[in-house]
Amino acid sequence: MEKIRCLVSAGPTREYFDPVRFISNPSSGKMGVEIAKAARGFGWETTLILGPTSLEKPEGIEVFDVVSADDMLNRALALFGECDILIMTAAVSDMRPKKKSKAKVKKESLNMAVEFEPTPDILRELSKIRKNQILVGFAAETNDVKSYARGKLASKNLDAIAANDVSKSGSGFAADLNEISLIFKDGREIDLGKDSKSRLAKKLIEILAAEFFPQAGKK
Ligand code: PMT
């Protein structure tokens, strides 16, 4: 069998409301970069779409830098047709300011309410045009973690989702540790527990490989 082609998204997006101010979230990109490295280590041809982070680019992986949810969507649309599996770890900003000022907004005007609109839902858009691609999402939640994750698995029409408990300090956003359970479309769950992002990424890729590409093996 040909090499499995894996597309990974990582990091936050930034939604600017003037040239120097934006809304975003604390995602560091670590989880996604570790997944990209694990996928490559498994022998998969791996491409990474990376939001703004201070991480070093992983070796041997083609990296596309993006800033906003729109950029991430456009890049994902361009690359999606050439992948067998998409793993979206990116913490895409759900909202963006409706208007972006070309000039820096003066401090005196900053107390004016900024109006927001939803960003495009990248996974949902891709799930509409998928052919045989496997879609794997992540859901960072602080409560009812698995129940919310199951909701996203269904509403975004995914094959699997990593329910990510980010309620405890020291794991989740911008930490070296994470705590995830993988939930499949048919309801099966695999608890990966709390571990380093690097070890979790390796376990996750091994499980996804066995589940979705059993004939391909490790290259
Ligand atoms: O980057 P780190 O610091 O290492 O942190 C890792 C992480 C906590 C960000 C990561 O493990 C994680 O959980 N990522 C998902 C973040 C999240 O809360 O996603 P969500 O629940 O908003 O979205 C669910 C899924 O839909 C995700 O796969 C997301 O990429 C995708 N999505 C979300 C919004 C949107 N507009 N388009 C999307 O495709």
Cβ–Cβ < 8 Å for 33, 50: yes
Residue 145 domain flag: yes
Residue 69 domain flag: yes
Count up the domains in the chain and report the number.
Answer: 1
pLDDT higher than 70, residue 1: no
Residue 17 domain flag: yes
One-letter amino acid of 24:
S
- 87: domain CATH number is 3.40.50.10300
pLDDT in tens, 112-162: 667 899 999 999 999 999 999 999 999 999 999 999 999 999 999 999 999
Give ligand 1 pocket residues (Cβ under 6 A). Answer: 11, 27-31, 69, 88-92, 94, 119, 121-123, 137-140, 152, 164, 166, 172-174, 178
Residue 106 domain flag: no
Radius of gyration of the chain (CA): 17
Q: 2 CA to middle of ligand 1, Å?
A: 29
Q: 48 CA to middle of ligand 1, Å?
A: 15
Give residue for tokens 């939001």: 51
Give residue for tokens 């830098």: 65
Give residue for tokens 């990510």: 164
The pLDDT value recorded for residue 109 is 76
132 is catalytic: no
Burial of 70 (0-12, 13-18, 19+ CB in 10 A): middle
Residue 187 DSSP class: S
Comparing 9-23, 33-47, 111-125, 157-171, the range with the smallest average pLDDT is 111-125
The pLDDT value recorded for residue 54 is 94
Residue 206 domain flag: yes
Cα(158)–Cα(124) distance, rounded to whole angstroms? 9
Structure-token pair, residue 90: 């990116």
Q: 113 CA to middle of ligand 1, Å?
A: 26
Q: Taking Cα atoms as reference points, which of 96, 178, 196 lies closest to residue 139?
A: 178
- The predicted model gives 92-115 an average pLDDT of 86
Residue 57 domain flag: yes
Q: 122 CA to middle of ligand 1, Å?
A: 11
Q: Among the atoms of ligand 1, which is closest to the Cα of residue 120?
A: 36
How many C-beta atoms surround the C-beta of residue 47 within 10 A? 22
Q: Among the atoms of ligand 1, which is closest to the Cα of residue 9?
A: 30
How many C-beta atoms surround the C-beta of residue 195 within 10 A? 17
Q: Taking Cα atoms as reference points, which of 107, 132, 89, 83 lies closest to residue 18?
A: 107
Q: Among the atoms of ligand 1, which is closest to the Cα of residue 118?
A: 36
CA-CA-CA-CA dihedral for 129, 135, 141, 143, to nearest 10: 100
Domain range spanning residue 187? 5-97+113-212
Residue 155 domain flag: yes
Q: Whose CA is nearest to atom 31 of ligand 1?
A: 123
Q: Whose CA is nearest to atom 14 of ligand 1?
A: 89
Q: Whose CA is nearest to atom 33 of ligand 1?
A: 92
What distance, in Å, lies between the first and last C-alpha atoms of the chain?
10
Phi, psi dihedral angles at 131 (to 5 degrees):
-110, -85
The better pLDDT of the pair 123, 216 is held by 123
Residue 105 domain flag: no
Q: 90 CA to middle of ligand 1, Å?
A: 5
**Per-residue pLDDT band at 22 (split at 50, 70, 90):** very high
pLDDT in tens, 48-75: 999 999 999 999 999 999 999 999 999 9
